[in-house]
């Protein structure tokens, strides 16, 4: 296998006695879109800021492109684009001025890629940043991270504040980056988003990496709450015996259950009766954790896998 783009080796960061991340082992391969999934405060941003050398690990180390994240930070930063979480921009600049400033700092050729991205994301570069909404600021953050066509894009909560249409355009852009063979590292606390754009997902919780899964694997193990409303009452045992069905409740024409893995067999069975409505709840993060660590209560996450 080729040299990983990102490799974390027992990466550990404490702030004083407060936990950041603990013995994180991670490999991100060239050309993949890797999702870093976990609730707020799990240690995603800490990991990312260590990769960029803003903070230094307490123990362990990280390499990017095979280069040391601290010692070779300058060489690394020439080749990556970065969107910070909780983005703050220079209020008094216009979008165009901000992009021009960073393009100069990068020694970049002005190839108009920034403008193209701005057009696609529907971002007005002429306005002063202080007048922009949160969503428009986030777009600028994305544009400056991606305008240099970096070998690796590190995006901390990229879709925060983006409206759904812009999100879709962003997903397309990520698909194109992947198709071009570039690597993307995305942090998120939003499972559907990660499922939509990522190839593999690392699940982090309370500073520890619980598992790394392919998105397909994640879906297989994910829990999904399903509500079906039928035209008329259905037998109580309608879904009994269908694989993956749990917590089945049938109340006249209403049925609710939890499905582990694919919903296809469930729906096929249910379709023997006329269905009026289907409500599928996207599994939340907690449900994913439950799927991985069935009976364990919150706060009792096992040691890093």
- Which residues contact another protein (rule: CB under 8 A)? 15, 45, 49, 52, 54-56, 74-75, 77-78, 80-82, 84, 86-90, 92-93, 97, 100-102, 104-107, 141, 144-145
User: Which of 68, 227 has the CB closer to another protein?
Assistant: 68
Choose between 156 and 287: whose C-beta lies nearer to another protein.
156
Task: Please state the closest distance from residue 72 (CB atom) to another protein, in A.
Answer: 11
The strand pair at 33-37 and 18-28 is best described as unpaired
| Minimum gap (Å) between residue 55 Cβ and another protein | 4
Least distance to another protein from the beta carbon of 103, Å?
9
What is the nearest approach in angstroms of another protein to the Cβ of residue 6?
15
Taking the complex as a whole, how short is the minimal distance between the CB of residue 97 and another protein, in angstroms? 6
Give min distance, CB of 82 to another protein, in A: 4
Min dist CB 295 to another protein, Å, is: 36
Q: Which of 177, 219, 196 has its CA nearest to residue 32?
A: 177
Work out how close the CB of 13 gets to another protein at its nearest, in angstroms, rounded to a whole number: 9
CB atoms within 10 A of CB 166: 20
CB of 58 or CB of 254, closer to another protein: 58
Residue 40 or residue 92: which is nearer to another protein going by CB?
92
* 110 vs 268 by CB, closer to another protein: 110
Dihedral sign of CA atoms 286, 287, 292, 293 in order: positive
State the SS3 of the chain. Answer: CCCCCEEEEEEEEEECCEEEEEEEEEEECCCCEEEEECCCCCCHHHHHHHHCCCCCCCEEEEEECCEECCCCHHHHHCCEEEECCCCCCCCCCEHHHHHHHHHHHHCCCCCCHHHHHHHHHCCCCCCEHHHCCHHHHHHHHHHHHHCCCCCEEEEECCCCCCCHHHHHHHHHHHHHHHHCCCEEEEEECCHHHHHHHCCEEEEEECCEEEEEEEHHHHHHHCEEEEEEEECCCCCCCCCCCCCCEEEEEEECCEEEEEEECCCHHHHHHHCCCCEEEEEEECCCHHHHHHHHCCCCCCCCCCCCC
> Is the Cβ–Cβ distance between 208 and 297 less than 8 Å?
no
């Amino acid at each position: 296998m080729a040299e990983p783009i990102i490799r974390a080796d027992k990466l550990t960061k404490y702030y004083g006695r407060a936990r950041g991340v603990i013995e994180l082992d991670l490999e991100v391969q060239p050309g993949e879109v890797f999702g870093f999934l976990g609730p707020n405060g799990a240690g995603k941003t800490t990991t990312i800021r260590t990769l960029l050398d803003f903070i230094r690990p307490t123990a362990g180390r990280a390499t990017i492109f095979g280069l040391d994240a601290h010692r070779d930070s300058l060489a690394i930063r020439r080749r990556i684009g970065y969107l910070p979480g909780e983005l703050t921009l220079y209020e008094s600049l216009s979008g165009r001025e901000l992009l021009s400033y960073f393009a100069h700092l990068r020694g970049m050729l002005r190839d108009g890629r920034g403008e193209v991205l701005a057009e696609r994301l529907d971002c007005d570069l002429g306005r002063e940043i202080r007048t922009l909404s949160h969503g428009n600021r986030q777009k600028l953050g994305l544009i400056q991270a991606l305008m240099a066509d970096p070998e690796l894009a590190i995006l901390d909560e990229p879709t925060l504040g983006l409206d759904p249409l812009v999100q879709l355009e962003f997903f397309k852009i990520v698909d194109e980056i992947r198709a071009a063979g570039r690597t993307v590292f995305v942090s998120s606390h939003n499972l559907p988003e990660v499922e939509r754009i990522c190839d593999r997902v690392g699940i982090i919780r309370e500073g520890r990496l619980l598992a790394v899964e392919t998105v397909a694997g994640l879906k297989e193990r994910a829990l999904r709450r399903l509500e079906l409303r039928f035209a008329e009452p259905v037998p109580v045992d309608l879904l009994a015996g269908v694989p993956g069905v749990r917590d089945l409740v049938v109340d006249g024409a209403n049925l609710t259950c939890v499905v582990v893995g694919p919903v296809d067999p469930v729906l096929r069975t249910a379709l023997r009766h006329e269905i009026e409505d289907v409500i599928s709840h996207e599994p939340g993060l907690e449900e994913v954790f439950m799927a991985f660590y069935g009976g364990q209560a919150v706060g009792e996450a096992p040691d890093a896998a």
